[in-house]
Amino acid sequence: MKTTIIAALIAAIAIGSALGAFAATRTVETTANVEVRVWQRISDGELFISTRPQGVEDWNTVDAPLNMSALSNSGRFQLSSVITVAIPLSVEVEVPDAVEAEPTKVPPPAALPIDSDTPEAGPCCEVRGMDDRPALQRQVEREMQGVVDFALKEYGIAHTGSITLNIAHSANGLLSRYEDVFGRRLEELPDECSFQEGAHLFLSPSCRSDKVALASEWFSRAVGTGEVTPSWLGHGASDYFANHYAAGVVPEITEDRFRRVIFYERSRNIRRDQASDDMKTLAMLYALEYYGEFADWLRFYSSVLAGLDANTAFQSVFNATLPDFYSDFEEWADHQRIILISTAFSSCREATLSLSPQSAAVGISRGFPDYRVPLEVDEDNDGLVCEGYVILPTLPQQ
């Protein structure tokens, strides 16, 4: 009786293991038959096990005897030691003849709930730090809740899990908030404005009410961050979303900051993955202008973030290769640069006769975009030159 029970148990284990190993690579409904024999040595009563797949002549015998010293939980059965048996299994799968056809698009892995009928946002948000300023805590929480609501309404994007906003009176205080959460102290802040780790977002005193910073951090929390190649792929999407939220309108390819980067920076820096932040966003805006939509870019970026090769992901989403995109973008940017050079002015006086002054993004000064008058110096680095310039009347010669 003992031998019969052991043989039945080991047969079930052997068959299950064979099927499990096969199912790990392909899901196929099939069966496998394995013959199992348990035998006992007469001289000392030791038990041994042999296995043989059906149709094979030779038995595979385990050298070690079965240790029968263990008991089942009920105490009604003696248990053998666990024996691992390698069962050779050969499966033939019929594969259709190869035919010449157009390359099939590789669908990118789903990483964003853009097309979800009923996306649901995760909870937002707990605020830690500055307990002596409850009104400011509520203000930061309301602003982040505004980002969450905006993303859900405009893009159908929602974060999962929780979000904790860590704020402080000073940079040193923010380092203490980090130490409270993670049990270790940073030498310095990873970013002077904002940064995040896990479900925790850290906002410096200069950026805790900055709409762009809050939206950028939330977007990274929702979409995910990580090392991708090339590294410029993710910046444009975050910049696009954050500025749409902060300004109420989507970034335009004709904005001064993008004209400026066309004028002063080489377009090939995108291909070389050495571009400035504004050049990265400009490349994404060009893709949206001529290849697809923002939702397409998010699918492309999330696919690369999930591990798909960038060229494969780009071709799958936009039906064009990444090298072709680089070539098209460089040709377009170089043409735009020629236009900007040809319409530039040589002096403040010359520009004043043709242009109307405009205000800087920060401050009250008025002047002309630096790329429109490239020979003038932007002393305060605000993107404007000729600030305060006035044409004095020319006095008649005596």
**CA separation for the pair 274, 285 (Å, rounded):** 18
Residue 92 has pLDDT above 70, yes or no: no
Q: Which stretch of 240-249, 283-292, 355-364 has the lowest confidence by average pLDDT?
A: 355-364
Q: Which of 325, 276, 275 is nearest to 300 (CA)?
A: 325
| Selected residue with higher pLDDT from 75 and 65 | 65
User: What integer pLDDT is reported at residue 268 of this predicted model?
Assistant: 96
315-to-85, 303, 320 alpha-carbon distances in Å: 46, 12, 5
Among 163-172, 219-228, 242-251, 315-324, the range scoring the smallest mean pLDDT is 219-228
pLDDT in the model for residue 46: 76
CA 71/CA 78 separation, integer angstroms: 5
Residue among 213, 303, 288 nearest 250 (CA): 288
**Among the residues of 111-248, which ranges form H helices?**
134-154, 171-182, 211-223, 233-247
- The number of beta carbons lying within 10 Å of the beta carbon of residue 32 is 17
- Are 368 and 259 contacting, i.e. CB atoms less than 8 angstroms apart? no
Residue 10 φ/ψ, nearest 5 degrees? -70, -35
| HEC assignment per residue over 281-346 | HHHHHHHHHHCCCHHHHHHHHHHHHCCCCHHHHHHHHHCCCHHHHHHHHHHHHHHHHHHHHHCCCC
Cis peptide preceding 230, ω within 30 of 0: yes
Roughly what angle, to the nearest 10 degrees, separates helices 294-305 and 211-223? 60
Q: What are the percentages of helix, strand and coil residues in the chain, rounded to 5?
A: 40, 10, 50
Mean pLDDT, the chain, integer: 80
Q: What is the DSSP-derived secondary structure letter of residue 127?
A: E
Joined tokens for residue 88 = 């050779």
The pLDDT, as a whole number, for residue 344 is: 94
More confidently predicted of 37 and 302: 302
In the structure, how many helices (H) and strands (E) does the chain have?
Answer: 11, 12
Selected residue with higher pLDDT from 104 and 315: 315
pLDDT at 384 (0 to 100): 92
Which of the listed ranges 44-53, 141-150, 372-381, 383-392 does the model predict with the highest average pLDDT?
141-150
- Given pLDDT bands bounded at 50, 70 and 90, which one contains residue 367? very high
Is the domain covering 108-225 a CATH 3.10.50 domain?
A: no
CA terminus-to-terminus distance, the chain: 132
Band of residue 32 on the pLDDT scale cut at 50, 70, 90: low
* Alpha-carbon torsion angle 294, 297, 299, 305, nearest 10: -140
Residue 6 has pLDDT above 70, yes or no: no
Burial, 183: exposed, middle or buried (Cβ in 10 Å; 0-12, 13-18, 19+)? exposed
224, HSE (Cβ side, Cα atoms, 13 Å): 17
pTM of the predicted model as reported, rounded to 2 decimal places: 0.66
Weakest mean pLDDT among 90-94, 147-151, 155-159, 279-283: 90-94
Domain boundaries, the chain: 2-79, 108-225
Higher pLDDT, 104 or 327: 327
> Is 60 exceeded by the pLDDT of residue 12?
no
User: What pLDDT was estimated at residue 38?
Assistant: 75
164-167/126-128 β-pairing: parallel
Does position 145 have pLDDT exceeding 90, yes or no?
yes
Give the pLDDT confidence score for residue 20 in this predicted structure. 37
Q: For residues 45 and 79, which has the higher predicted lDDT (pLDDT)?
A: 45
Mean pLDDT calculated for residue range 145-170: 93
Which is more confident, 199 or 121? 199
Mean pLDDT, residues 132-143: 95
Does residue 361 surpass a pLDDT of 50? yes
Per-residue pLDDT reduced to its tens digit, 212-267: 999 999 999 998 877 788 888 889 999 999 999 999 999 999 999 999 999 999 99
pLDDT of residue 228: 85
Going by pLDDT thresholds of 50, 70 and 90, the confidence category of residue 272 is: very high
Write down the pLDDT at residue 231: 86
Mean pLDDT of 270-299: 94
Average pLDDT over residues 70-89: 55
- pLDDT band of 359, cuts 50, 70, 90: confident
Q: State the pLDDT at residue 227.
A: 78
pLDDT at 84: 57
